[in-house]
Structure 1
Amino acid sequence: MCVPLLQLSVPPLPYYIVSGLAEVPAGSKHPARRNIGVFDLLVVMKGTLYVGEEDLHYEVREGHSLILRPDAYHYSTLACTEETHYYWLHFHTQGEWQPIEDSISMPGYPRDSAVEAPPFLPAYSITPFMICVPQYTPLLQPDKFYDMLHELTLMNQNVHLPGTRLRQQALFQEVIQQLSDTLTTDAPSPKAACAERAAAYLRAHYQEEVTAKALGEHLNFHPVYIARCMQKVFGCSPAAYLLKYRIARARLLLLQTDLSITRISEEVGFNHPAYFTSSFAKQEGLSPRKFRQRFS
C-alpha cells in the first residue's frame, strides 16, 4: 500500500493543542475548511468518515486515522452512511515540516532516511533528525490508541492544574510514535492481539462483575496468558486495567453529572461505595467528593 507522508524535523517536537470525541448521526458531513493553520488528526472508532484533501479522497474506517494538513483544503466527499464516532485532535509544530509528494511504499520504509544518523551525539550541540508519519493508516493497536486519545481528552478538563499540560505533551509524543511505527511494523503480534481483545472486553463490561474465568472463556485463552499479554502491552494486569478504566469513567460522571457518590460507584461497576472511594483516592490522590469540589 502506498501512502502520502508528512516529514517533520525534530527538535522541536510536534505539540498537542486540543482534542475531543465526536459522535455524529448518519447523514452528517465533515466540515469544509481551508488553511486552518493546524494539523487535524481524525481517528475513527465506529462507522466511516469520507474526507477529501485537495485532490485526494479518503474513506476513514474504524481503526484508521487521517491527518489533515494545516495548509490544504479539506472537504467532505460523502455524508456518513451510519452513526460514526471519531476522535479529533489538533496539533502543530514550530519546526520545519513538509509533505512528501511522491507516495512511498509503507513496508520497510526508513523513516529517518532523509537525515543520516550521526555516529555519536555531540555533547553541546543540537542534532536534528526527521520523523515521518503517514497521513492515512490503519492503526497497529486501535484500542490502545483510543485509550491514549481518551486520556488526552479527559485531561483537557484539568489544564489549569500544575503538570497537566506537560503530561498531555508527553502522552501526545506516544501518539506520534504509534503513528510513525505503522510505517515499519507488521501486523500486531498474537500477544498484542490478545491484549487488545481483552482490553475491549473489559471496557465493554466495566459496569458488570468481571472475572478472570469469564474473560478467559470469552477470549478462549488461559487467564494467566491473558494477564501476561496485557502486562506486556498495557503495563498492567486485567484487574488493574479494569480498575483504571472504572476510575476514568467515574471522573467523567463526577464532573459532568450531579449523581451521588454512591450512585456513581454503582454506575462504574463497584459493589461497595467505600471500596470505590478508597480506590479513587489511591489512584487520584484525593477522594471523589474532594475531586468534585475542586471543580465546583
Structure 2
Amino acid sequence: MPEMNRLYDPARLEADQAPFITAYYYKQWDGFRMSFHSHDSVEIMYVISGDCTVETEHEIIALRKGDFVLLDAGVRHRLLVDKGRPCRMLNAEFGFADSGAGYPSVRALAADSPALTSLLTAAEPAIVLRDPHDVYQSLRSLVTELDSGYAERSCMAQLLLGQLLVQIARLAQLKRGGAEAQTSRYVREAAEYIRQHYDTDLQVKEVADAVHLHPTYLQRIFKAGMGCSLVDYLTEIRMEKAKMLLARTDIPITQIADYIGLNSRQYFSMLFRKMIGITPNEYRRRAEASFYPSSVFENGEHEDESESG
C-alpha cells in the first residue's frame, strides 16, 4: 500500500522533505455524482466557474466560483454537481519526498512563515477557503510550468508549489482570525486592486467584483478601515502617480491624464490643482528646478567644471 502523504505529519517540520505534485487536471463536470473515495496525497479542489458540493464523512461543503478546498490525504470525500449547472475545476494533488538540492523543504518554508507552521499543526481534514485571486494565479502558473516541457521545470514547479502552500496557509490563518481579520483582508485586497488598476476607467463595482463583495458593503468597510472613501483613495493614488510622472519623466503633460486613468486633460488639471495646490505645469517646473539647481546652468548649458579652473 502506498505511503500516506498526510499534510499534518509533525515530521514535516523536522525532516528535509519538499512537496511535489503527483497529479493535476482541469475538468468540467455536469450532472455528476462521485462515489466516496480518498487519495494517498493532499488534494486541492479549486472551482473556476459554476458551483458544486464536496461531501466528506463529517461535513457537506458548498463551493462556488473562487472557492477551493484543501483535503488531507486519506480523507474520504465525493464530488456532487447538479445537471444543467456545470462546474469547471482545477485539481492538484501533492505529496512529499526528500528535498533535492536547491528545493525548498517544508521545514525551510515553515521557518519563514508562521502561517505555514500554524497550518501544518492545525490537523483539519478539510479546509475551505475563498481565493482573493492569487491562489488561482499560482495554481495556473504551476500547471503551466509542469506542462511546459522545459528542462528546469522541476525546480520552477517546486518553487511555485512552495509559494502556493504559503499563500494557502496565510488565507487559512486569516480565516481563523475571524470576521475582523476577514474584513481587513477585503480592504487590503481592494486597495491592492486599485493600486494595480488606477490607470483604467476604474469603477467601484469592478473593485467590489474583484474581491467578491457587494459594492455598498465594500465602500462601508473600506472607509472604516482606510479612513477615506474608495473613490478618494483612488484619486489619491492617481495624484501620487501623476506627481511621480511629472517629476521623474518627460512624458508630455497632455498625456499624463491618460497614464493615470483620466480621459480628460482639463479634469486632470483641475483635480491636480485642487488636491496639490498648483497646476501640473508648475509642479513640473518646480521639480525640475529642484533637481537641476540654477547654479549648475549658464546660458542653458551645463558648466564644465574641468574648464572653469
Per the normalisation by structure 1, the TM-score is: 0.50
Give the helix-richer structure, 1 or 2. 2
More strand by share: 1
Larger radius of gyration: 2
Per the normalisation by structure 2, the TM-score is 0.48
